[in-house]
Structure 1
Amino acid sequence: METKRTASPIVRQPGEGARRWFFGGGVHTWKATEQETAGAFLLFEDEMSLNKVTPLHTHPESDETLYVLAGEILFSMDGTDYRLAAGGVALAPRGVPHAFKVLQEGTRILCLQTPGVAQAFYDGASEPLGASPDSGAGSPDGGHLPVDFGRIRESGRLNGGIDIIGPPPFPET
Protein backbone atom coordinates (compact mmCIF):
# COMPACT_ATOMS: atom_id res chain seq x y z
CA MET A 1 0.00 0.00 0.00
CA GLU A 2 1.41 3.38 -1.04
CA THR A 3 1.38 6.23 1.46
CA LYS A 4 0.10 9.51 0.06
CA ARG A 5 2.57 12.35 0.47
CA THR A 6 1.20 15.64 1.73
CA ALA A 7 2.77 19.07 1.90
CA SER A 8 4.12 20.42 5.18
CA PRO A 9 2.95 23.77 6.55
CA ILE A 10 5.62 26.40 5.80
CA VAL A 11 6.03 29.92 7.16
CA ARG A 12 9.33 31.69 6.47
CA GLN A 13 10.15 35.29 7.24
CA PRO A 14 12.38 37.44 4.98
CA GLY A 15 15.89 36.00 4.98
CA GLU A 16 14.80 32.65 6.44
CA GLY A 17 15.48 29.37 4.71
CA ALA A 18 18.58 27.27 4.06
CA ARG A 19 21.21 29.24 2.14
CA ARG A 20 23.39 27.51 -0.45
CA TRP A 21 26.15 28.73 -2.78
CA PHE A 22 25.07 27.63 -6.27
CA PHE A 23 27.99 26.71 -8.51
CA GLY A 24 26.33 28.55 -11.41
CA GLY A 25 26.92 31.73 -9.36
CA GLY A 26 24.82 33.24 -6.60
CA VAL A 27 23.29 32.36 -3.28
CA HIS A 28 20.03 30.43 -3.13
CA THR A 29 17.73 30.83 -0.14
CA TRP A 30 15.33 27.89 -0.04
CA LYS A 31 11.77 29.08 0.61
CA ALA A 32 9.98 25.76 -0.06
CA THR A 33 11.70 22.50 -0.96
CA GLU A 34 10.46 19.60 -3.02
CA GLN A 35 10.13 17.54 0.16
CA GLU A 36 8.14 20.24 2.00
CA THR A 37 5.64 20.64 -0.88
CA ALA A 38 5.31 16.89 -1.54
CA GLY A 39 6.74 17.53 -5.01
CA ALA A 40 4.13 20.12 -6.01
CA PHE A 41 6.74 22.86 -6.46
CA LEU A 42 10.20 24.14 -5.56
CA LEU A 43 10.70 27.81 -4.58
CA PHE A 44 13.95 29.68 -3.96
CA GLU A 45 15.34 33.20 -3.98
CA ASP A 46 18.55 33.74 -5.95
CA GLU A 47 20.91 36.66 -5.09
CA MET A 48 23.26 37.20 -8.03
CA SER A 49 26.29 39.26 -9.01
CA LEU A 50 26.45 41.67 -11.93
CA ASN A 51 27.07 39.91 -15.29
CA LYS A 52 26.22 36.40 -14.01
CA VAL A 53 25.09 34.30 -16.97
CA THR A 54 23.53 30.88 -17.27
CA PRO A 55 24.23 28.48 -20.11
CA LEU A 56 21.41 27.81 -22.55
CA HIS A 57 19.39 25.05 -20.90
CA THR A 58 16.02 23.37 -20.51
CA HIS A 59 14.20 21.77 -17.62
CA PRO A 60 12.73 18.60 -19.17
CA GLU A 61 10.28 17.78 -16.36
CA SER A 62 9.29 21.16 -14.89
CA ASP A 63 8.11 24.62 -15.85
CA GLU A 64 10.31 27.43 -14.51
CA THR A 65 8.88 30.80 -13.52
CA LEU A 66 11.25 33.66 -12.69
CA TYR A 67 10.00 36.75 -10.87
CA VAL A 68 12.47 39.64 -10.61
CA LEU A 69 12.47 40.97 -7.04
CA ALA A 70 15.21 43.60 -7.53
CA GLY A 71 17.54 44.66 -10.32
CA GLU A 72 17.31 43.56 -13.94
CA ILE A 73 18.06 40.52 -16.12
CA LEU A 74 18.26 39.86 -19.84
CA PHE A 75 16.17 36.72 -20.35
CA SER A 76 16.58 34.69 -23.52
CA MET A 77 13.83 32.21 -24.32
CA ASP A 78 13.50 30.18 -27.47
CA GLY A 79 15.80 32.58 -29.36
CA THR A 80 14.23 35.89 -28.27
CA ASP A 81 15.72 38.27 -25.66
CA TYR A 82 13.63 40.17 -23.10
CA ARG A 83 14.73 42.75 -20.51
CA LEU A 84 13.02 42.09 -17.18
CA ALA A 85 13.21 44.62 -14.33
CA ALA A 86 11.88 44.36 -10.77
CA GLY A 87 8.27 43.20 -10.94
CA GLY A 88 8.80 41.40 -14.27
CA VAL A 89 8.05 37.73 -14.73
CA ALA A 90 8.95 35.04 -17.26
CA LEU A 91 7.70 31.48 -17.63
CA ALA A 92 9.87 28.93 -19.44
CA PRO A 93 7.69 25.86 -20.04
CA ARG A 94 9.37 22.48 -19.68
CA GLY A 95 11.65 21.71 -22.61
CA VAL A 96 11.89 25.33 -23.86
CA PRO A 97 15.51 26.58 -24.19
CA HIS A 98 16.30 29.59 -22.00
CA ALA A 99 19.12 31.47 -20.26
CA PHE A 100 19.63 34.79 -18.52
CA LYS A 101 22.25 37.41 -17.78
CA VAL A 102 22.28 39.74 -14.76
CA LEU A 103 22.34 43.41 -15.85
CA GLN A 104 22.41 45.18 -12.46
CA GLU A 105 24.30 44.73 -9.20
CA GLY A 106 21.99 43.57 -6.40
CA THR A 107 19.69 41.57 -8.68
CA ARG A 108 17.48 39.03 -6.92
CA ILE A 109 14.95 36.67 -8.47
CA LEU A 110 12.37 34.31 -7.08
CA CYS A 111 12.40 30.98 -8.94
CA LEU A 112 9.38 28.66 -8.94
CA GLN A 113 9.64 25.23 -10.53
CA THR A 114 6.50 23.19 -11.04
CA PRO A 115 6.35 20.39 -10.30
CA GLY A 116 9.18 20.29 -7.77
CA VAL A 117 11.28 17.51 -9.25
CA ALA A 118 14.75 19.11 -9.45
CA GLN A 119 15.82 19.31 -5.79
CA ALA A 120 18.50 16.63 -6.26
CA PHE A 121 20.00 18.64 -9.15
CA TYR A 122 20.24 21.83 -7.08
CA ASP A 123 21.63 19.96 -4.06
CA GLY A 124 24.31 18.38 -6.25
CA ALA A 125 25.17 21.73 -7.85
CA SER A 126 25.45 23.74 -4.64
CA GLU A 127 27.03 23.78 -1.21
CA PRO A 128 25.65 25.04 2.11
CA LEU A 129 27.09 28.42 3.04
CA GLY A 130 29.62 27.99 5.83
CA ALA A 131 30.35 24.37 4.89
CA SER A 132 34.01 25.05 4.03
CA PRO A 133 36.58 27.75 4.83
CA ASP A 134 36.24 29.18 1.29
CA SER A 135 32.43 29.20 1.23
CA GLY A 136 32.16 32.82 2.32
CA ALA A 137 29.46 32.43 4.95
CA GLY A 138 27.72 35.77 5.20
CA SER A 139 29.13 36.92 1.85
CA PRO A 140 26.41 37.70 -0.72
CA ASP A 141 28.38 36.11 -3.56
CA GLY A 142 29.56 32.98 -1.74
CA GLY A 143 33.08 34.21 -1.13
CA HIS A 144 35.86 32.55 -3.10
CA LEU A 145 33.95 29.68 -4.65
CA PRO A 146 34.17 29.85 -8.45
CA VAL A 147 31.37 29.42 -10.96
CA ASP A 148 31.68 25.81 -12.10
CA PHE A 149 29.49 24.89 -15.08
CA GLY A 150 31.17 21.46 -15.17
CA ARG A 151 29.71 20.71 -11.73
CA ILE A 152 26.32 22.01 -12.91
CA ARG A 153 26.41 19.75 -15.99
CA GLU A 154 27.53 16.73 -13.91
CA SER A 155 24.77 17.24 -11.34
CA GLY A 156 22.24 17.40 -14.18
CA ARG A 157 23.63 14.20 -15.67
CA LEU A 158 23.51 12.37 -12.32
CA ASN A 159 20.29 13.83 -10.89
CA GLY A 160 18.20 15.07 -13.82
CA GLY A 161 16.33 18.35 -13.55
CA ILE A 162 18.28 20.24 -16.24
CA ASP A 163 19.74 19.71 -19.70
CA ILE A 164 22.52 22.12 -20.67
CA ILE A 165 22.30 22.51 -24.43
CA GLY A 166 24.81 25.26 -25.18
CA PRO A 167 26.86 28.22 -24.03
CA PRO A 168 25.22 31.45 -22.84
CA PRO A 169 23.50 33.06 -25.87
CA PHE A 170 24.68 36.58 -24.95
CA PRO A 171 27.55 38.56 -26.45
CA GLU A 172 30.53 38.80 -24.12
CA THR A 173 31.02 42.23 -22.52
Structure 2
Amino acid sequence: MTAPFQTTHADTRWLWHLGSLLQLKATGEDTAGRFAITEHTCRQGAAAPLHRHSREDETFVVLEGELSIHIDGQVFSAAAGSLTFAPRGISHAYRVESPTCRFLALITPAGFEQWFTDTGEPATSPTLPPRPGPADTAILADAAARYGVELLGPPPH
Protein backbone atom coordinates (compact mmCIF):
# COMPACT_ATOMS: atom_id res chain seq x y z
CA MET A 1 0.00 0.00 0.00
CA THR A 2 1.27 3.46 -0.83
CA ALA A 3 0.55 6.60 1.18
CA PRO A 4 -1.27 9.60 -0.28
CA PHE A 5 1.09 12.19 -1.74
CA GLN A 6 1.13 15.39 -3.74
CA THR A 7 3.80 16.97 -5.89
CA THR A 8 3.82 20.66 -6.70
CA HIS A 9 5.70 22.80 -9.16
CA ALA A 10 8.18 23.63 -6.39
CA ASP A 11 9.16 20.05 -5.52
CA THR A 12 9.01 18.43 -8.96
CA ARG A 13 12.20 16.74 -10.13
CA TRP A 14 13.34 18.47 -13.37
CA LEU A 15 15.48 16.93 -16.12
CA TRP A 16 16.81 18.05 -19.46
CA HIS A 17 16.32 15.17 -21.86
CA LEU A 18 17.18 15.25 -25.58
CA GLY A 19 16.48 18.97 -25.85
CA SER A 20 13.26 18.93 -23.82
CA LEU A 21 12.35 19.81 -20.26
CA LEU A 22 10.96 16.87 -18.35
CA GLN A 23 9.32 16.82 -14.94
CA LEU A 24 9.01 13.63 -12.92
CA LYS A 25 5.56 14.26 -11.41
CA ALA A 26 5.21 10.77 -9.88
CA THR A 27 7.60 7.83 -10.03
CA GLY A 28 7.33 4.18 -9.15
CA GLU A 29 8.94 5.04 -5.84
CA ASP A 30 5.99 7.34 -5.08
CA THR A 31 3.29 4.89 -6.26
CA ALA A 32 4.65 1.50 -5.16
CA GLY A 33 5.33 0.74 -8.82
CA ARG A 34 1.74 1.23 -9.97
CA PHE A 35 2.36 4.14 -12.35
CA ALA A 36 4.57 7.08 -13.22
CA ILE A 37 3.66 10.46 -14.70
CA THR A 38 6.10 12.64 -16.57
CA GLU A 39 5.43 16.10 -17.99
CA HIS A 40 7.29 17.08 -21.15
CA THR A 41 7.84 20.60 -22.52
CA CYS A 42 9.27 20.43 -26.03
CA ARG A 43 10.13 22.54 -29.05
CA GLN A 44 8.78 21.89 -32.54
CA GLY A 45 10.49 18.90 -34.09
CA ALA A 46 11.29 17.15 -30.80
CA ALA A 47 10.53 13.47 -31.27
CA ALA A 48 10.82 10.05 -29.69
CA PRO A 49 12.32 7.27 -31.79
CA LEU A 50 10.05 4.44 -32.88
CA HIS A 51 10.06 2.00 -29.97
CA ARG A 52 8.15 -0.79 -28.27
CA HIS A 53 7.59 -1.36 -24.54
CA SER A 54 7.37 -4.97 -23.38
CA ARG A 55 6.11 -4.05 -19.88
CA GLU A 56 4.30 -0.70 -19.91
CA ASP A 57 1.32 0.95 -21.52
CA GLU A 58 1.85 4.63 -22.30
CA THR A 59 -0.87 7.27 -22.37
CA PHE A 60 -0.29 10.77 -23.75
CA VAL A 61 -2.38 13.75 -22.57
CA VAL A 62 -1.63 16.93 -24.52
CA LEU A 63 -1.91 20.07 -22.36
CA GLU A 64 -0.72 22.68 -24.89
CA GLY A 65 0.29 22.47 -28.54
CA GLU A 66 0.11 19.46 -30.84
CA LEU A 67 1.81 16.10 -31.27
CA SER A 68 1.61 13.56 -34.04
CA ILE A 69 1.61 10.17 -32.36
CA HIS A 70 2.49 7.17 -34.50
CA ILE A 71 1.14 3.87 -33.15
CA ASP A 72 1.44 0.61 -35.08
CA GLY A 73 1.25 2.33 -38.48
CA GLN A 74 -1.54 4.77 -37.54
CA VAL A 75 -0.93 8.50 -37.08
CA PHE A 76 -2.98 10.33 -34.46
CA SER A 77 -3.09 14.12 -34.49
CA ALA A 78 -3.08 14.96 -30.78
CA ALA A 79 -4.05 18.56 -29.99
CA ALA A 80 -4.49 20.16 -26.57
CA GLY A 81 -7.11 18.28 -24.58
CA SER A 82 -6.59 14.95 -26.34
CA LEU A 83 -5.65 11.61 -24.80
CA THR A 84 -3.90 8.94 -26.88
CA PHE A 85 -3.24 5.40 -25.63
CA ALA A 86 -0.28 3.29 -26.80
CA PRO A 87 -0.57 -0.28 -25.45
CA ARG A 88 2.50 -2.29 -24.53
CA GLY A 89 3.89 -4.55 -27.21
CA ILE A 90 2.98 -2.15 -30.06
CA SER A 91 5.45 0.18 -31.77
CA HIS A 92 4.96 3.90 -31.24
CA ALA A 93 6.69 7.29 -31.50
CA TYR A 94 5.74 10.96 -31.37
CA ARG A 95 6.76 14.25 -32.92
CA VAL A 96 6.00 17.83 -31.79
CA GLU A 97 4.16 19.65 -34.59
CA SER A 98 3.43 23.02 -32.93
CA PRO A 99 6.08 25.65 -32.02
CA THR A 100 6.06 24.24 -28.47
CA CYS A 101 4.12 21.46 -26.80
CA ARG A 102 3.45 20.40 -23.24
CA PHE A 103 2.10 16.92 -22.50
CA LEU A 104 1.80 14.33 -19.77
CA ALA A 105 2.88 10.72 -20.23
CA LEU A 106 1.25 8.16 -17.94
CA ILE A 107 3.40 5.03 -17.72
CA THR A 108 1.68 1.93 -16.30
CA PRO A 109 3.14 0.16 -14.47
CA ALA A 110 6.03 2.37 -13.41
CA GLY A 111 9.68 1.69 -14.16
CA PHE A 112 10.46 3.16 -17.57
CA GLU A 113 10.52 6.70 -16.14
CA GLN A 114 13.99 5.82 -14.83
CA TRP A 115 15.22 5.75 -18.45
CA PHE A 116 14.81 9.54 -18.54
CA THR A 117 16.95 9.84 -15.41
CA ASP A 118 19.56 7.48 -16.85
CA THR A 119 19.83 9.29 -20.19
CA GLY A 120 19.04 12.89 -19.20
CA GLU A 121 20.66 15.37 -16.84
CA PRO A 122 19.33 17.40 -13.92
CA ALA A 123 17.97 20.71 -15.21
CA THR A 124 19.72 23.77 -13.84
CA SER A 125 16.45 25.72 -14.22
CA PRO A 126 12.86 24.81 -15.18
CA THR A 127 13.35 26.05 -18.75
CA LEU A 128 13.97 24.41 -22.09
CA PRO A 129 17.64 23.45 -22.40
CA PRO A 130 19.94 24.53 -25.20
CA ARG A 131 19.32 22.61 -28.42
CA PRO A 132 21.26 19.34 -28.28
CA GLY A 133 23.54 17.81 -30.85
CA PRO A 134 22.77 14.38 -32.31
CA ALA A 135 21.83 11.76 -29.71
CA ASP A 136 24.02 8.69 -29.23
CA THR A 137 21.48 6.05 -30.23
CA ALA A 138 23.64 3.19 -28.92
CA ILE A 139 23.59 4.67 -25.40
CA LEU A 140 19.83 5.33 -25.62
CA ALA A 141 19.15 1.79 -26.90
CA ASP A 142 21.32 0.14 -24.22
CA ALA A 143 19.57 2.11 -21.48
CA ALA A 144 16.11 1.35 -22.94
CA ALA A 145 16.89 -2.37 -23.08
CA ARG A 146 17.41 -2.37 -19.29
CA TYR A 147 13.71 -1.42 -19.01
CA GLY A 148 12.40 -3.90 -21.58
CA VAL A 149 12.09 -1.29 -24.34
CA GLU A 150 13.35 -1.91 -27.87
CA LEU A 151 14.29 1.02 -30.12
CA LEU A 152 13.03 0.13 -33.61
CA GLY A 153 13.95 3.11 -35.75
CA PRO A 154 14.35 6.86 -36.06
CA PRO A 155 11.72 9.40 -35.01
CA PRO A 156 8.88 10.09 -37.45
CA HIS A 157 9.17 12.94 -39.96
TM-score where L is the length of structure 2: 0.90
Tell me the CA shift for residue 112 of structure 1.
0.3
Matches within 5 A, 1:3-42: 6-14=1-9, 16-23=11-18, 25-42=19-36
Query: 2:52 matched to 1:58?
Result: yes
Q: State the AA in 1 paired with 2:105.
A: C
Contact 2:24 2:38 in 1 (8 A): yes
Partner SS state of residue 41, structure 2: strand
Matches within 5 A, 1:76-155: 76-130=70-124, 137-140=125-128, 142-143=129-130, 145-146=132-133, 148-150=135-137, 151-155=139-143
Contact 1:121 1:161 in 2 (8 A): no
Supply the distance in 2 between the matched residues of 1:161 and 1:146 (Cα, whole angstroms): 26
Supply the distance in 1 between the matched residues of 2:79 and 2:5 (Cα, whole angstroms): 28
Supply the distance in 1 between the matched residues of 2:85 and 2:113 (Cα, whole angstroms): 19
What residue is the counterpart of 2:149 in the other structure?
162
Supply the distance in 2 between the matched residues of 1:97 and 1:149 (Cα, whole angstroms): 21
* Higher helix proportion (structure 1 or 2): 2
Contact 2:14 2:126 in 1 (8 A): no
Identical-residue share of aligned pairs (%): 29
Contact 2:14 2:23 in 1 (8 A): yes
Q: State the AA in 2 paired with 1:42.
A: A
Length, aligned pairs only? 156
Supply the distance in 2 between the matched residues of 1:57 and 1:29 (Cα, whole angstroms): 21
Q: State the AA in 1 paired with 2:83.
A: V
Tell me the CA shift for residue 138 of structure 1.
4.2
Q: State the AA in 2 paired with 1:139.
A: T
Q: State the AA in 2 paired with 1:165.
A: L
Supply the distance in 2 between the matched residues of 1:153 and 1:71 (Cα, whole angstroms): 28
Supply the distance in 1 between the matched residues of 2:114 and 2:65 (Cα, whole angstroms): 28
* Higher strand proportion (structure 1 or 2): 2
Question: Using a 3 Å threshold, how does the CA distance of structure 1 residues 39 and 167 change in structure 2: closer, same or farther?
Answer: same
Question: Using a 3 Å threshold, how does the CA distance of structure 1 residues 126 and 104 change in structure 2: closer, same or farther?
Answer: same
Any gaps of 5 or more consecutive residues in structure 2? Answer: none
Choose 1 or 2 for highest CA Rg: 1
Runs of 4+ aligned structure 1 residues displaced above 6 Å come to none
